[in-house]
Structure 1
């Protein structure tokens, strides 16, 4: 919920204070539900669900994890978003350290999407119902590439997505070393995507951790290019002082997180920033409640971390905007 208070006479001085609560956990109790081969109907791959416990009908969002990561590394972010009234679905892809194309994960994500209609109601608490007419698809790192590829038609689903989110998405190791399918064209607004898109990037993602490891989100194949190729309406936030894996839970294995440049500040602030922006976006797109998103666009300093740049393009006005030149 967003509110505006203390508005003075505009003929003299205007003082407006905007408040949003999305960066703190919501009011709904949340349960985490592991779903595996013992479930009927059986999902195509294991799934982790974070769902409100209170009876009601809630929109659904699916989060695809990054390369060589586990879905439970995102549990804090999943629970934060679910506490605002969204059912979060996080598939677990097969883990392989061998670099290969994304075809297998795209197909698996499509199969999980089609499982939702029969499978999701069977595992949720009594009185909790999914609204499958409103589904968002999100992906982190290589999972961002998977999500964009699925929406771009490299996989087929019976259900339709209403929104797309890229969390520091990565499409390869360089401009000429994209993973298959090669979706980046390096032409502005070239993605054939008509739904609203949110891209959240990290300021340190394209920096090396040390001389032994390459950047985890290299230039030319990271969040900046994904956003540039989106059509309006699209939104872009960069967590300036954090790295590619800083949104993961604190108990994510150090042998994984040590490969990426990380920020020096509290990782909980990063998680709350990412989750809060996602909540504001989902509320605007899926629930038609855009107050929180408007507030954050107008005053990014409300976030727990520094957001810079902050941009968006709206369908009604094909131009870029930042918080100094607001289009809302």
Structure 2
């Protein structure tokens, strides 16, 4: 799995420019969207957090920052197959600015039969505690593991296996605020923007996020000043 991912991401970054400038490129983006392959930010959701971290265990490549969205380690939520890459308090071998996005309902099972989509012992804080670099973790309360998907998927697919928001829900608003968090992180790191970084650290009073959503923030610099360094990745 990790070897296939490594080949895929290396090919993608090498050929990204021509994907946006070929006869098959959709008109809506051709000559309007220009990919940048410097200061690349790698992002993974749920179990793909295991895959992207496995890749970074071997090499940074062109990756300079990392976003883990509801990351889950191990092999399956039932815990039958134990295949872990994080073993806190042991630290991972790479140092990279990282944003972890999680939700309040990640560790809550949908029912007594199906385990939670992101059990506490396998997810989120497990990754946070294993990362030796500068890191931020935002907990979007009142929402669940798959609530960022489109409304049809949330209603007819996600809600059958994961705990989802059920009352006073605004999924469009939630999705928008997830995008804002990622943007603040990436722009804050690459442009060394103090206001954007502070927006991650005090989200509810920053003015960047919707007042209808409550976000809990945890962060730790671990001795690295991203406002001076910008994005980076290296092996310790």
**Common fold: TM-score over 0.5:** yes
Q: Which has the higher helix share?
A: 2
1:283 pairs, out of 187, 193, 199, with 187
Aligned position for 2:220: 313
Q: Which has the higher strand share?
A: 1
Q: Does 1:130 pair with 2:32?
A: no
Contact 1:281–1:290, Cα closer than 8 Å, also in 2: no
1:295 Cα deviation from its structure 2 partner: 2.7
1:275 Cα deviation from its structure 2 partner: 1.1
Contact 2:43–2:68, Cα closer than 8 Å, also in 1: yes
TM, length-normalised to structure 1: 0.58
Contact 2:136–2:200, Cα closer than 8 Å, also in 1: no
1:209 pairs, out of 110, 120, 142, with 110
In structure 1, C-alpha distance between the alignment counterparts of 2:153 and 2:165, rounded to whole Å: 15
Secondary structure in structure 2 of the residue aligned to 1:132: coil
In structure 2, C-alpha distance between the alignment counterparts of 1:239 and 1:113, rounded to whole Å: 29
1:234 pairs, out of 127, 135, 157, with 135
1:296 Cα deviation from its structure 2 partner: 3.8
- Give unmatched runs, 5+ long, in structure 1: 1-103, 319-328
Contact 1:200–1:237, Cα closer than 8 Å, also in 2: yes
Work out which structure has the larger RCO, using CA pairs closer than 8 Å and 6 or more positions apart in sequence.
2
1:1-328 correspondence to structure 2 within 5 Å = 104=1, 106-124=2-20, 125-126=30-31, 128-153=33-58, 159-172=61-74, 173=76, 179-180=82-83, 182-187=84-89, 190-252=91-153, 254-264=156-166, 265-301=169-205, 302=207, 303-304=209-210, 305-308=213-216, 310-316=217-223
Secondary structure in structure 1 of the residue aligned to 2:15: helix
CA RMSD of aligned residues (A): 2.5
In structure 1, C-alpha distance between the alignment counterparts of 2:136 and 2:78, rounded to whole Å: 23
CA distance 1:214–1:185, change in 2 (3 Å): same
- Choose 1 or 2 for highest CA Rg: 1
In structure 2, C-alpha distance between the alignment counterparts of 1:170 and 1:274, rounded to whole Å: 18
Aligned position for 2:232: none
1:147 Cα deviation from its structure 2 partner: 1.2
1:317 Cα deviation from its structure 2 partner: 7.3
1:163 Cα deviation from its structure 2 partner: 0.5
Aligned pair count reads: 208
Secondary structure in structure 1 of the residue aligned to 2:157: helix
- Give unmatched runs, 5+ long, in structure 2: 21-29, 226-236
Secondary structure in structure 2 of the residue aligned to 1:292: helix
TM, length-normalised to structure 2: 0.78
